[in-house]
Every structure is written in structure tokens, then in C-alpha cells.
Amino acid sequence: MFNYENLKKILFLFNPERAHNIAESSLKFLGKCRILRNYYEKKNFIVNKALEQELFGRTFLNPVGLAAGFDKNATMIKSMKSLGFGFTEIGTVTPMPQDGNPKPRMFRYPEQKSVQNAMGFNNLGAHQALKNLKKLYPFYIPIGVNIGKNKTTPEEYALNDYKVLIKKLEAYSDYIIINISSPNTPNLRDLQNEKFIKELFTMAKELTTKPIFLKIAPDMEVNQAIDLCKTAVESGAAGIIATNTTIDYSLIENCKDFGGLSGAVLSEKSALLFKEIAKELYGKTILISVGGIFTGKQAYERVKNGASLVQLYSSLIFEGPSLARKINEEILELLKADGYDNISEAIGANLR
């Protein structure tokens, strides 16, 4: 019988990036094998009306999605339902292909159930992502496309990179995510300012009617983060995704002094910032919470704090491919215990 704890011992013998490549190859194969795909869909994909919700014209059959960074080039979408996800996010995609930062650039901390990555938007570029998306869009579950500027693009020309990406990819996505919060592209976080955000979303509104989200870093001061998010929403953003990885290296003793930390050590920091943002923006926009979610209880708390959806990535590495199913099952139990018939009733319950 399949046992992830045993498989994990083998995967952890490889360096993290090599293990990721093995996982990608396996999921590509799964996507091509209908018999296996159907088997794991029946095993992992929870179908229950209590988890369904309509958001920006799409049906989300459950609130648990894959965060950006795992499927950089839209090569694993067909296997996402088999992992139990209600939606998926590809990228980060840049206009031109780029190799990313020098290796080694990914590190795991098993005792802390955390990962540190300094990948640097390594991807095959917008043209290849578009080719892959065209093969299957529209898909059974919603697809988000996370976009970022190329490393070599000067800050003063960054707006054009996002313009190119939106025009190229918007027709083959259900929503678009503006990534200016990764710590792994030099000066990218400098774009987290109200002037650039206003220009960016004003431009984006003229290019597409698709929902566009802003993804923010967890390392800003609370008031700064709130002001930035409010500016984005006032300028046309459909919602906020909080948060990206952190550069608070005090969270893990003797970790690297570059890249972003994710996983369990990010959980408290991400949850606290999300809660503060939600106090200001719940009911005014769609909020998605990501960062250190390992259990249904954690996911449900983010929902009650205002999240319509939650996302996972690093926790998959430590908990395995049945994690989305387990989280959805636990959310169903918690909804029932609280007397809710549908997850929409629980969203923002702590803020009402």
C-alpha cells in the first residue's frame, strides 16, 4: 500500500530541488494516465455541497488550492484534481524564460517542517505557459496565473512586463495574481508601494475583465500592508492573497541569509497579518490566505477570519499528496460542529 511517510524518507535523500523535479515528473505522468488519475480523484477529491461556493463567476468545489511556485510552467494542472485541490495556481510566469538564481537555491528544515527557497522565478516564459494552458483551458477546477517581472527588467519598465503578461495570458486563466512580493528577484519588493500599485491596477482594468489579485509579503508593517491592499482594491484589484514567503530569518536558527522561508514557521506570522488585513477589507473584496497551513483547523480559522479560499504548498512536502483531502474533511467536521450548512456562512464569522 502507498505510504507517504516511507516515500518521504526516499525523497528526502535527494536535494530539495531534485525531489521537486521527481514529484513534477510523477504528476505529469499521473496527468496522462486516466486510470490512475480517476482512482486518485475518487480517493482525494471531496464532493460535498457544504464546501462549494461561487466566486467571480466560477464554481469552487472546495476552498483548498495549490499555491504558486509548485507548477511553474502549467505542466501539472491535469493531476491537481487527483490531489484533491479545488483550484490551482501556476507560475510565477515571466515574459521571457529565465533560469533563476544559482544553485543550491532550495533548502528544507524537516524538524521545523519548513522550506527556504531562493529560486528566482525560474520558468520557461509566457509563451510556453500559454501553449500549455491552451491545451486544457477551461479546466474542471479554476486556474490562477501568477505573474512577475523578469529579473533583468529595470524597475522603471516593470509595468510593461505586467502589461505583456496580462495581455498574453488573461484569456486562458480564471484569475491573475500580481507577484511583487517574492524576495528572490532583486528590488521586486520595492514595487510594493502605493504609486506603482495604483498605476498597475488602473492599467490592468483596461486590459482584462478577469479578476486580478495582489499577493503581498508578510514582512511589512501592518498599517503599510493595509494601506497597500486598500489602494489595490480601490484601483481595481478583485482581491488580496496573503502572504508570500518571509525573510524573517530569526524564525529558524542557522538558516540561510537569503531566499524566503515557508512552511510551519511562517504560519503564525502569515495568519496574524492576514487577520489584520481582513479586519479592514473583509466584505469589501475577496481574500485568500496562504502560509503555513497544515491542518483543517488552521484552514478553518483563516476562513472564519475572512478567507474565502486557502492555499498550500510547503505543507505538501511534509504531509503528502492526501493533505488537501484531509483538510477538506476536517473543515466539513468543523462546519457541522458550528451548525453551518455551507462554508460561505463561516467566512468572516470571527469578524461579525
* 333-351: pLDDT as tens digits: 999 999 999 999 999 999 9
Residue 132 sits at the vertex; the CA angle it makes with 60 and 42, to the nearest 5 degrees, is 40
Q: What is the mean pLDDT of the chain?
A: 97
What average pLDDT does range 303-330 have in this prediction? 97
Quote the pLDDT of residue 186: 87
% pLDDT > 70, the chain: 99
- The residue from 79, 182, 262, 270 that is catalytic is 182
| pTM, 2 dp | 0.97
% pLDDT > 90, the chain: 97
Using the predicted structure, report yes or no on whether residue 122 has a pLDDT greater than 50.
yes
Confidence of residue 250 (pLDDT cuts 50, 70, 90): very high
Using the predicted structure, report yes or no on whether residue 148 has a pLDDT greater than 70.
yes
* 69-120: pLDDT as tens digits: 999 999 999 999 999 999 999 999 999 999 999 999 999 999 999 999 999 9
What average pLDDT does range 136-164 have in this prediction? 97
For the question of residue 182 being annotated catalytic, the response is yes
Domains of the chain: 4-351 (3.20.20.70)
